[in-house]
Amino acid sequence: MFVNKFQINLSTIPSGSTATTITFPISTDYQIVDNGELIERVFVETEVEKSINPILDYDRVRFLPLDLSGNVIDKIIYNIKLFNNSGNYVDFFGYVGFEDNDIKFGKNSFKQTFLSLSFFDTDNPLTQKLVTSMSLYTNLNPSDYIALGNNANIPGIPKPAVEVPINFIVESPMLNPRGVAEGLNIYDYKDNLKIGESKYLYMRANFKNAKTGKSTNLMVKNTPLPIDLLVHELYTRYRLFRTSEGFYYEIDNTYQVNNSIGSNNVVYNTNTAVVNLYQIKAT
């Protein structure tokens, strides 16, 4: 800032004078100084905010199953149909390598057999990303036992392997504490959906046979398909959605790809959803 300098010499002031005059210019030049507060507020705080990574909420929530009418689902049954040595579909453990004692004595070959469910964000294998997965292990259900005497409510020994169906049943622990609950609910990030929003997940299934060591990919149709059409019949679609009451999902039984007739492998009964899955057969 430029200023005019004035020097007052007392010896030049006449004696007896009671006042003197100093003349100042009408206008002055000025320069803004001390911008620290402005710099701190406008520049520093803004840049610091940009440098901090956004806060991500990794809290997962439980999605509960509903049917297509909004009713609560207490049980989901995954029925598996595989090829026997003759190339025909079978759905009992005795026809895919298991013996009676494997089931009767709960051998590891039976206990470690499981159904793997992988959920993707799209059904396009070139761009899809894995969102979540779950493993459903074999477990005997009350109907898999031979009842003692005439009392069907008291199970005895397991049925022969050729009479034990290849299925995986998950149930509400509130209604059946002795059943298997793992796999009934789907877990996803809480912040992914706002109230009123929904999204789709595409499930692809694989059967792991611990008796034979085979891993079998499954599809949603029970008819042979050409390779170029087969890729569209590997997925079962799940719709996840959020309401003001909570987080839910439903298994879609009208999912269609390329204007095909869609997948009809999902059937709803009273408080139960049945998902039928078949070993892949291509032409």
Residue 60's DSSP bridge partners are: 189
pLDDT (0 to 100) of residue 112: 95
**Maximum separation of any 2 CA atoms in the chain, in Å:** 139
Q: What is the 3-state secondary structure (H, E, C) of 219-267?
A: ECCCCCECHHHHHHHCEEEEEEEEECCEEEEEECCCCCCCCCCCCCCEE
pLDDT at 98: 95
Strand 272-279, strand 214-219: pairing: antiparallel
- For 153-212, how does the pLDDT look when each residue is reduced to its tens digit (9 = 90+)? 556 789 999 999 999 999 998 888 878 889 999 998 888 899 999 999 999 999 999 999
Q: pLDDT digits over 129-159, tens only?
A: 999 999 999 999 888 998 776 655 556 789 9
Q: What is the pLDDT at residue 51? A: 76
DSSP 143: G
Integer-rounded Cα radius of gyration of the chain: 37
Per-residue pLDDT of the chain (283 residues; tens, 9 = 90+): 556 666 767 666 666 666 667 666 666 566 666 666 666 667 777 777 777 777 666 678 899 999 989 999 999 999 999 998 888 899 999 999 999 999 999 999 999 999 999 999 998 888 999 999 999 999 998 889 987 766 555 567 899 999 999 999 999 988 888 788 899 999 988 888 999 999 999 999 999 999 999 999 999 988 887 877 787 789 999 999 999 999 999 999 888 665 554 557 899 998 999 999 999 987 7
Cα separation values, 100 from 92, 105, 106, 161, Å: 12, 9, 10, 5
Determine the Cα angle at 82 with ends 167 and 74, to 5°.
20
d(CA 252, CA 263): 9
Instruction: Find tokens 């007392």 and name the residue.
Output: 10
What DSSP element (H or E) covers 155? strand 151-158
30-39 CB contacts, 8 Å cutoff, 24+ apart: 30/1, 31/1
Residue 32's SS3 state is coil
Residue-level pLDDT at 147? 73
Closest-CA residue to 167 (of 142, 189, 138): 138
Supply the pLDDT for residue 59: 78
Which residues pair with residue 111 across a beta bridge?
none
